[in-house]
Amino acid sequence: MSDPCVFSCINAAQQNLDWVPHRDNTPSLEEQLSSAMAEEQKLEEELERETARNEELKEEVSRLLPACPQEVDSLWEKVAILEKRTREESLSNLDIQSLYTEDLQRQSEKEEMFAQESLKRRLHETEAAHSETVLELEKTRDMLILQHRINRDYQVNLGD
C-alpha cells in the first residue's frame, strides 16, 4: 500500500540534496596570481636597473668631484632624486601586494557567501518538498481511513 507519487517526491528531494552548485574560479585566480608575480618581477628588475644607475652616478660624482664643484652639486641632486624614486617604487610594490591580497580575500568571502545562500535556498526547497510530502501522506492516510470505514459499513450491510 505504498504510493509511487510519495516515493518519487521523496527521491526527488534526496537527489536535490546531492546536487551542490559551485563555481570554479581557480583558473582566473591562478591567472591573476601569475600576472601579479610577473608585474612584481618586472618592478624588481626595474628597481635593480635604477640601483645600478644610482651606483654609476655615485662613481661619476666621485670622479668629477675635484674637477667642477657646480657639476658635483647637480649630480648630488640627481642622486637624491633617484634614491627618492627608488624608495617610492618600493612602497608602491608593497601597496600593490596588499591590494592584491585584499582582493583575493574579498573574492573568497563572496564565494563563501554564494555557497551559504545556495545552501539556504536548497534547505528552503527541501523543507517545502518535505511539507508537501507530509500533506500528501496525511491525505493518503485520511483516504485509507475513509476507505476502511466504507468497506466495514459495506460488509455490515452485506451481513444483514
pLDDT at 85 over 90: no
Is residue 11 situated within a structural domain?
no
pLDDT at 50 over 90: no
Is residue 122 situated within a structural domain?
yes
Is residue 123 situated within a structural domain?
yes
CA distance 13 to 127: 9
Is residue 114 situated within a structural domain?
yes
Among residues of the chain, what percentage have pLDDT more than 90?
30
pLDDT of residue 59: 80
Alpha-carbon dihedral angle through residues 26, 31, 37, 40, given to the nearest 10 degrees: -130
Residue predicted with more confidence, 157 or 103 = 157
Is residue 152 situated within a structural domain?
yes
pLDDT of residue 3: 62
Q: Which of 34-48, 52-66, 127-141 has the highest mean pLDDT?
A: 127-141
What average pLDDT score do residues 130-144 get? 94
Is residue 148 situated within a structural domain?
yes
pLDDT of residue 11: 66
Question: What is the total count of domains within the chain?
Answer: 1
Residue predicted with more confidence, 65 or 78 = 78
CA distance 36 to 44: 12
Is residue 133 situated within a structural domain?
yes
Is residue 120 situated within a structural domain?
yes
For the whole model, what pTM was predicted? 0.36
Q: Which range marks the domain in which residue 101 is found?
A: 26-159
